[in-house]
Amino acid sequence: PNSKIRNSEMYSNYKSNTTMKGLLGITPNGMMSFVSSLYTGSISDKEITKQSGFKNLLEVGDEVMVDKGFIIQDLLTAKGAKVAIPPFLKQMDQLTKTQVKETQQIARLRIHDERAIRRCKE
């Protein structure tokens, strides 16, 4: 954008460029069930989750898989939904056997998400 204000709103520190962001909901079988409007790149993932209406569609017992940096547990817990997120190393040297299995299970499912995201972008 030519406007410096608009440019700063659209700038993403993560991407180091001006961007637009959206939120996709993808079912376990890889179908898109939710597509949000686009937001300026400087908006947080949590704020998109609030503003897009996604959390209003959740029901008690639903489970939402997110990336490590997508910190929305508090929003989903309030709706009775669960968050599936890969374990963090934090200050440990390595993951436990249980955490490794959980990470592998989530990674197998994330492949389908990444494919759906690529289809949307293309």
Q: What is the pLDDT of residues 103-119, one digit of tens each?
A: 888 878 788 888 888 88
Digit-coded pLDDT (tens) for 12-43: 777 788 888 899 998 877 788 899 999 988 88
**4 vs 13: CA distance, rounded Å:** 16
- Between 59 and 93, residue with greater pLDDT: 59
65 touches 103 (CB < 8 A): no
**Domain limits, the chain:** 3-120
- Percent of the chain scoring above 70 in pLDDT: 95
**DSSP 8-state assignment for residue 88:** P
